[in-house]
Amino acid sequence: MKRLLQMFLLISIVSALLLYAISSLNSSQGFTSSNTLTIYNWGDYIDTDLIERFEEETGIKVIYETFDSNEAMMTKIEQGGTTYDIAIPSEYMIDKMRQEDLLVPLDHSKLPNLKNIDERFIDLPFDPENKYSVPYFWGTVGIVYNSKMLDGKEITAWADLWDKDLKNEILLTDGAREVMGMGLNSLNYSLNDTDEEHLQEAKSKLDALTPNIKAIVGDESRMLLEAQEAAIGLVWSGVASEIMAENEDLEYVVPKEGSNLWFDNMVIPKTTKNVDAAHQFINFMLDPKVAAQNAEYVSYSTPNKEALKYMPEEVVKDERFYPSPELTKKLEVYENLGKKNLAHYNELFLEFKMHRK
């Protein structure tokens, strides 16, 4: 009994000490004050120095929390019990969240810096007039290839993937929209096409690609490409910039037929307790210098036109991540095609996955 009591006391004391340490660490950061802003972002997707600067400039204390998928984020917000003031979902999620009535409309008068965003990225189909969202980062879907493994061969278009020499070299992403989009784009159709004939054509075009496909994978494609398990991968530009930093032989290209354009966007979810601070934060992040610093840290493409002036020229001129206006015209955002069409896309993608070599 004595030992039990000793143990009990010891653990209580240790926990009390730890709790004290946490609260003093928290208060040293000023988290206890009532004027707080809770940000819900992807892991490692902001330069934390900027959060500190925002706290200093405004006196608002930031609580920063991270998520790993749009779906997880939406569940947390939908269920309530949380007080997120800012969230950063991808564009297809915004449509969904708007329909579920989870977003607070933005007050544009409080966002003077909105003018810094490139017109190309304003008023897009997933959020007309930017009523609910402001783009945070953007990117493309394209091809990563290992020039060394391909003996210096260059890839510039989707059509190049159908080359007979590329047997068993291609990794595809396990996403119906991405892969079907690739099929449609390679035939110069829109990746939001719903014409049955076009879709069937794209599907049989994709079937013809099967001998070249090594695997259809998820997030592990990043590792496989880095480790040179495959020479070619269909990836998002963000993933591309990361793995290119690790393996110098890798090259990224946005196919010239056109491709997908994606966005991660700042929104104010319904769970907010501090709408003013949320607007202040969005406006702060739209400041050209802030956006430039953030873009350099995250190494994704910023939609902030003014920020480009503060960034190194070799980054801004890099056509792989800041494609020329001619190419951007061919890039399309995924539109919400409705349940029926989406199911059809998924069905065709499934059939393609089952297609035998």
* CB nearer to other proteins: pick between 105 and 218: 218
- Shortest Cβ 357–other proteins spacing (Å): 32
- Shortest Cβ 175–other proteins spacing (Å): 15
Work out whether 4 is an interface residue with other proteins (CB under 8 A): yes
Work out whether 272 is an interface residue with other proteins (CB under 8 A): no
* CB nearer to other proteins: pick between 63 and 316: 63
* CB nearer to other proteins: pick between 129 and 219: 219
CA dist., res. 342 & res. 336, Å (int): 8
* CB nearer to other proteins: pick between 124 and 278: 278
Range 196-255, binding other proteins (CB under 8 A)? 219, 222, 226, 242, 246
Binding other proteins by CB under 8 A: which of 6, 27, 31, 249? 31
**How many degrees, rounded to 5, is the angle at CA 105 between CA 108 and CA 46?**
75
Work out whether 3 is an interface residue with other proteins (CB under 8 A): yes
Work out whether 25 is an interface residue with other proteins (CB under 8 A): yes
Q: Shortest CA distance to 91 belongs to which of 339, 332, 350?
A: 332
Q: Shortest CA distance to 166 belongs to which of 213, 130, 208, 120?
A: 213
- Burial of residue 30 (CB within 10 Å: 0-12, 13-18, 19+) is middle
* CB nearer to other proteins: pick between 43 and 152: 43
Q: Is 319 helix (H, G, I), strand (E, B) or coil?
A: coil
Structure tokens at 271: 């769970």
Per-state percent for the chain, helix, strand, coil, to nearest 5: 50, 20, 30
Which stretch in 4-12, 100-108, 190-198, 320-328 sits in contact with other proteins by CB under 8 A? 4-12
Number of residues that bind other proteins (CB under 8 A): 43
Work out whether 56 is an interface residue with other proteins (CB under 8 A): no
> What is the sign of the dihedral through the CA atoms of 158, 162, 165 and 166?
positive
Q: Which residues lie closer than 8 Å to 17 by C-beta, 6 or more apart? A: none
- Shortest Cβ 45–other proteins spacing (Å): 7
Q: How far is CA 12 from CA 3, 16, 18, 166, 342, in A?
A: 14, 6, 10, 63, 55
Work out whether 354 is an interface residue with other proteins (CB under 8 A): no
* CB nearer to other proteins: pick between 79 and 109: 79
- Shortest Cβ 311–other proteins spacing (Å): 19
Going through the chain in order, the beta strands assigned E by DSSP cover: 36-42, 61-67, 86-87, 133-146, 170-173, 213-217, 232-236, 250-253, 261-267
* CB nearer to other proteins: pick between 275 and 337: 275
Work out whether 32 is an interface residue with other proteins (CB under 8 A): no
Work out whether 33 is an interface residue with other proteins (CB under 8 A): no
* CB nearer to other proteins: pick between 67 and 334: 67
CA dist., res. 281 & res. 113, Å (int): 11
Q: Is 322 helix (H, G, I), strand (E, B) or coil?
A: coil
- Shortest Cβ 245–other proteins spacing (Å): 9
Ramachandran angles phi, psi of 137, nearest 5°: -140, 160
- Shortest Cβ 38–other proteins spacing (Å): 6
Range 64-123, binding other proteins (CB under 8 A)? 64-68, 72, 75-76, 79-83
Q: Is 287 helix (H, G, I), strand (E, B) or coil?
A: coil
Work out whether 8 is an interface residue with other proteins (CB under 8 A): yes
User: Are 223 and 239 contacting, i.e. CB atoms less than 8 angstroms apart?
Assistant: no
* CB nearer to other proteins: pick between 64 and 312: 64
* Residues at the interface with other proteins (CB under 8 A): 1, 3-4, 7-8, 11-12, 14-15, 18-19, 21-22, 25-26, 28-29, 31, 38, 42-45, 48, 63-68, 72, 75-76, 79-83, 219, 222, 226, 242, 246
